[in-house]
Structure 1
Amino acid sequence: MIIFGWGFRTSKNYGPVRKIQCNNCNNESSWHLQKITSWFMLFFIPVIPYKTRYLLMCPVCKNYLMLQKEEFEELKDIIENSQSNKSWDASARMNSIVNGAGGIIRTETQLNFIRDVQEFERERQRRSEE
């Protein structure tokens, strides 16, 4: 007796990509890039993938946009390039948003904080030189 089935799904989350306002929940958050693969199973073991979906998903309400494979690959490259750039410190990466060109978008509050820290460092150096 051979037991087979289908519909087993695996999901891979590649992380946040873009800050988008969701039409479903109206939250503005960084949407996650996901790849969902459906498998044919033989004896309860996933053997052959028969369907792959590429999604950009809202982390709040799980609403999603379907992507083409080419779009998915572009966004995946952006994520990988942003993670491989070791010049960013960990806090900047956590609080930053990666735009479509791979650059960092910071909020006005973050920019003001960075300016204040830089000014504080300059002031501290001036005092130490005196």
Structure 2
Amino acid sequence: MNLHPWLQALAGGVLIGLSAVVLLLLNGRIAGISGIAFGLFERARGSEWAWRAAFVLGLVGAGVAVLAWQGAAPVSPASTPLLVLAGLLVGVGTALGNGCTSGHGVCGLGRLSGRSLAAVLTFMATAIATVFVARHVLGVL
């Protein structure tokens, strides 16, 4: 089945929102991916560790399933060192912002959090500036 790109985006957004609501209703937890993943290594024990591991494995498993379904991975125009640098910068930004786009953007905005609104506006402004500089100043993308 080959869906139009906007339908794929809509379906993905609905599934992300649904998973955030289910996690909140069934577990009383916010679906902030960075907090869930970092919790695996910092403080989680027993059942706390198990649900976090299941959540992260579900994320990875979904990506693997889509890759198997589509038959090929998308290829990035960026070099591997640039992708590694970008990943490290995202990690630093996540730590500085006390959360990531899933925690602030999906869950925080849904709860009308002012702190999350400030974080999302910062994420978006930074992303826009980064793409502008990368494409139009450095010409790397």
Q: TM class by shorter-chain length?
A: under 0.3
Indicate the structure with greater strand content: 1
**Structure whose CA Rg is larger:** 1
Q: Which has the higher contact order (CA 8 A, sep 6+)?
A: 2
- TM-score, normalization by structure 2: 0.26
